[in-house]
Amino acid sequence: MASRNGDFHRPQGGGFAELKLDAVSRRFGGLLALDGLSLKISRGEFIALLGPSGCGKSTALNCLAGLLPLTSGSIWLDDRRIDTLRPEQRGLGMIFQNYALFPHMNVRKNIGFGLAMRRVPKNEIRRRVDDAIGLVQLEAHAEKLPGQLSGGQQQRVAIARAIVIEPPVILMDEPLSNLDAKLRLEMRSEIKRIHQELGRATVYVTHDQEEALSLADRVVVMKDGVAQQIGVPETLYDRPANLDVALFMGYRNVLEGRVDHIEGEQVSFQCGGLTLAGARQGRFGAGPATAVIRPDEIEPGEGPNRIEGRAETVEYCGRDYLVDFVTDAGARLHARSVERVLPGDHLCWHVPAERVLVYGAG
Amino acid sequence: MIAGNLRDSGLDRTVLLIVPGALFVVLLFIYPFAYGLFLSFAPKDGGIWANYERFFEQPRFYSTLGITFWIALPATLINLGLAIPMALKLRRPTSMQRVVTTMLVVPITLGTVLVAEGLLNYLGPQGWFNRLLFDLHLIAGPVRLTHNYWGVLLSLVITGFPFAFLLTLSYITGIDPVLAQAASTLGAGPARQFLHIYFPLLAPGLAITFCLAFVQAVSVFPSAVLLGAPAGPTRVISIAAYQAAFEDYDYSMASAVAMIMGLAQLAVVVAVLGLRGFFYRGPAGGAKG
């Protein structure tokens, strides 16, 4: 009996090597909310699904958890097909956006619920719940009801409740979006720490690129139900696969113009009176194009890709200033400056050619 | 000046708004109740307890208490028992939910007398129900569903169920469905989701629903007379009170019967509401501080 239970509460946790989503799609009426998502998640990996609201990232997570049936495709945990199983048979741990703590159970009962459902012996439940409470540092609150806890503490209970069942994969649905800015940073580190300590594969849904980049081993950027790019944070940040990903990665300066000269990966980009040397992203010829630049890559001073302009608004950000300036040709750009800049200052800026990303039209 | 004094004593003039309501309660509830209580202790003959002694000595009185409970308790339990699964099934706002709730409001508006009259025709020996069963060769002779216990029970279910359903539905829709989803990811199947999540969160509301439905069923009078056998098996306590008052012209005895009826209801209500204390009472959301 004990060994049967022992096997059950570690659903392939030890042997699990890969979670595979194979062309997973979900349709709501006429809307294809998730369109053929394929993804392999290896043991211990932290994956972030990143995108604006309505991009299909939560749909993907709910499909994984079993809360939404797939329209097509399949999900595999190694050789075991799990998309045909009910959520209670999948044994994945899920953390909900509003935490979904059971309001009538105290912290200890909430955390032990999954173990009780697995008919784990009472003394083992007690031991494992104590361990989980220790891990999320809630020793002083074990007997309280969720309504008596702060948002951050509730979040910790939700995390402990999901990890105590030792699931092969932990799913998190925008877990930090209900917290204030300070607590969000704190819990972000906490999630990172717990992930490093336990090494459980995690799928994390968020619309906050900073959260995704700081937490994840790999990020899946989604838009309109389609995965736009899957890669490590550095790649996404430096080399977005397309314009949509670039916009989501904080490339705030968007210039519509033309490419009139191409030499290998170097292009010459024209926009109004501005001519910039840029890096060609993908295959395209001369013609209409879009260039994107991140604000922190436009720096004051002389250099290649010289841009002159007059500062309009200046926001102090502590470490530096965020400056909106209008070029002599009339384009409005966002830049960052460590030196103090005053509105009205006429300054010279520059940006390295490899940081001007140029995408072809269409 | 009065207003100023009221404010100084921690009150303000808006408190006066409760006066009409309070007056209404005193004149139409407390006064008649006190009058009835007083009257019940002033019997035609004998000491002040004579009416109560008579009630518990004579089978034609005390048997009504058992008969009333024997009708009201099953009716309440059936109503609640049907309402819970239906409300669970219809907890998500859909067009189906709107259609069903609208259909169920109709019996409430019709009132017990009309429903009783309808059932007399429908369930009677020559009614559609018996004819259908007969034509389908399911029965040889008519099934007796009127002028007995079953007629009264059916009418109480038909008039009481919508009420129990609508109340239960409003309690169930107040429970965040994400809680059940969370329970499912933690390994709870539908039955255990109900047992561990829905039921405990629903229990206080179910207790209230039970009390209201029960009190409604205890005071059954029209259907017990029209659809039942008021001389025998469905001689409920309200019939005993009616007969004492308007056939024996013994208002004092009738008051005593009414008091006993009230106490019996109160005992059940207090017991059920007492049970409520064992359950969590508070917001049933996903618990966001």
A325 beta partners: A311, A333
Residues of B in contact with A174 (CB under 8 A): none
Please give the pLDDT value at position A353: 92
Structure tokens at B98: 């709107």
Asked if the ipTM is above 0.90, the reply is no
Please give the pLDDT value at position B285: 67
A256 beta partners: A290
Which of B176, B187, B287 lies at the smallest CB-CB distance from A147?
B287
- B33, with CB counted inside 10 A (0-12, 13-18, 19+), is middle
CB–CB of B123/B150 below 8 Å?
no
Q: Per-residue pLDDT tens for B127-155? A: 888 889 888 988 888 888 888 999 999 98
Q: Per-residue pLDDT tens for B213-237? A: 999 899 888 888 888 888 888 899 9
Residue B47 pLDDT exceeds 70: yes
Please give the pLDDT value at position A29: 87
Q: Per-residue pLDDT tens for B164-211? A: 999 999 999 999 999 999 999 999 999 999 999 999 999 999 999 999
Please give the pLDDT value at position A12: 37
Helices B59-89, B251-276: inter-axial angle, 10-degree rounding: 40
Please give the pLDDT value at position A10: 39
A145 shares contact with chain B (CB less than 8 Å)? yes
Which of A91, A94, A151 lies at the smallest CB-CB distance from B289?
A151
Please give the pLDDT value at position B10: 64
Average pLDDT over residues B93-115: 83
Residue B3 pLDDT exceeds 90: no
- Contact state of A92 with B178 under an 8 Å Cβ cutoff: no
- Contact state of B185 with A98 under an 8 Å Cβ cutoff: no
In terms of Cα–Cα distance, which of B229, B231, B237, B233 is closest to B264?
B237
Please give the pLDDT value at position A229: 95
Q: For chain B, give the mean pLDDT.
A: 88
Please give the pLDDT value at position A6: 38
CB–CB of B65/B256 below 8 Å?
no
CA–CA separation, A270 vs A256, rounded Å?
A: 9
> Helix, strand, or coil here: B223?
helix
Q: Helices (DSSP H) in B14-148: which residue ranges?
A: 18-25, 31-40, 50-57, 59-89, 95-110, 112-123, 128-135
Residues of A in contact with B285 (CB under 8 A): 98, 103
Give the number of residues written for chain A.
Answer: 362
B76 to chain A, closest Cα gap in Å? 26
Please give the pLDDT value at position A331: 85
Residue appearing with tokens 């809630």: A138
- Contact state of A100 with B182 under an 8 Å Cβ cutoff: yes
CB–CB of B252/B37 below 8 Å?
no
Ranges of residues in chain A whose predicted pLDDT is under 70: 1-15, 362
Q: Say which residue, B1 or A42, is predicted with more confidence.
A: A42
Q: Select the residue from B178, B185, B199, B288 to test the A interface by mutation, using most A Cβ atoms within 10 A.
A: B185
Please give the pLDDT value at position A14: 46
Please give the pLDDT value at position A202: 95
Residue B85 pLDDT exceeds 90: yes
CA–CA separation, A50 vs A53, rounded Å?
A: 9
Q: Per-residue pLDDT tens for A56-83? A: 999 999 999 999 999 999 999 999 999 9
CB–CB of A45/A198 below 8 Å?
no
- Global pTM reads 0.82
Helices B50-57, B59-89: inter-axial angle, 10-degree rounding: 80
- Contact state of B188 with A101 under an 8 Å Cβ cutoff: no
Please give the pLDDT value at position A41: 95
Structure tokens at B140: 């040889």
Strand duo A226-231 + A201-206: pairing = unpaired
